[in-house]
A = this chain, B = another copy of it.
Amino acid sequence: MNGGILKTNAYILSAGTVVGKKEFDGPLGAKFDFHSEDDRFGMDTWERAEGEMQRRALSSALAKANMEDGELGAIFAGDLLNQCVSSANGLISFDTPFFGLYGACSTIAEGLMLASAIVSAGYFDTAAAVTSSHNAAAERQFRTPIEYGGQRPPTGQWTVTGSGAFILASEQYAKRRAPLARISECMPGIVIERGITDANNMGAAMAPAAESTLLRFFKESGTRPEDYDLIATGDLGYEGAAILSELMESEGYTLGKNYCDCGMMMFSRSTQDTHCGGSGCACSATVFGAHILPRIYEGELKRVIIMGTGALMSPDTVKQGDPIAGIGHLVVAEHIEEAENGCMD
């Protein structure tokens, strides 16, 4: 096999984030661009509400990047709904070349990776990566409708209602905008399955996939956890993050205090009853867009690993008793000093 690291040079022009009520009430609430008090976003189904969140998130990102209608080269998007319908329906109004993705909750990392590769190679000047999840749409699809009132086990996580959109640009295009962050390296995940069959224990199903990608990345790059100001997994939650830390420790890599999981950052453990934390495509997308990326822009964080994690299961295969495979897609986001961003001339 060729080396697994993709060297990219894609500038992150902006991010747009949208969340639901519970997410707005969490510790990061004030950082998101928009929220809805009733999680409906003015639509009459949860599925359409999810699409509407994607539309708003991408609109917000485009506005922040000062981009005009029709300027965007391509969209890379996907979500958790069957056949990724909220991406297709929610983004239809942008009238832009569309690449549909499916990476479960790792979708935003897969999208950032492919969008970065495509703009770095010069195929398009700009590309967007977009994803979403909606708690009510996900519950009735993967588990039971919320009205059923099923009890959640301690390892259960809370699917985040939200959407995140990012605009990536080539170096040449980015010079006009002077962004202060770029994606410099990406490593696609390998599908890993270790026998977990419980759809309420996704952290355990995904942790070995996160370990696989992190190990390959540290070995190939010759770096170690302490070389990064932050390593953020997508939605392993408290259970999965503890498993990942143990797995990495046994391989000689201590993740340490710079490691955190977006699912642990989204909700308050003491006041919001989500058991093992947040999950869903929107979890890493909104936490990265609203909480981590601004700190990279400001230079507080110089070099960050975003490790998107996804559980590759479907409601059908879970009912058939199949084990749940996981995948972990990794991107490295870096702060760019003003003097380096090529915009001083």
Contacts and interface: CB of A to CB of B under 8 A. Distances in A.
A121 to B, nearest CB: 4
A208 to B, nearest CB: 12
A92 B47 contact: no
A325 B89 contact: yes
Interface residues of A, number: 61
Given A1-B72, A1-B73, A6-B123, A190 B81 contact: no
A27 interface: no
Contacts of A118: 117
A124 to B, nearest CB: 5
Interface in A88-118: 88-89, 91-92, 95-104, 110, 114, 117-118
A316 B88 contact: no
A191 B4 contact: no
Interface string A170-199: 000000000000000001111111000000
A102 B117 contact: no
Task: Count identical subunits in the complex.
Answer: 2
Contacts of A120: 121
Interface stretch (A229-237, A298-306, A307-315): A307-315
B189 A98 contact: yes
Contacts of A316: 47, 81-82, 85, 141
Nearest to A98: B191
Most central of A85, A91, A325 by chain B CB within 10 Å = A85
A74 B189 CA distance: 10
A71 interface: yes
Interface string A65-76: 000001111100
Given A188-B99, A312-B83, A317 B89 contact: yes
Nearest to A106: B100
Q: Which 9 pairs across A and B sit closest by C-beta, in order of nearness?
A: A121-B121, A88-B312, A83-B314, A97-B188, A82-B314, A100-B102, A102-B102, A85-B314, A82-B82
25 contacts: A1-B70, A1-B72, A47-B316, A47-B317, A47-B322, A78-B100, A82-B82, A82-B316, A84-B312, A85-B313, A85-B316, A88-B191, A89-B312, A89-B325, A92-B191, A96-B190, A97-B189, A100-B101, A100-B103, A100-B110, A101-B102, A102-B102, A114-B114, A117-B118, A117-B121
Given A98-B190, A101-B101, 19 more contacts: A1-B72, A1-B73, A4-B97, A47-B314, A80-B83, A82-B82, A82-B316, A83-B104, A83-B312, A84-B314, A85-B314, A89-B317, A91-B191, A92-B191, A92-B325, A100-B327, A102-B102, A121-B123, A141-B316
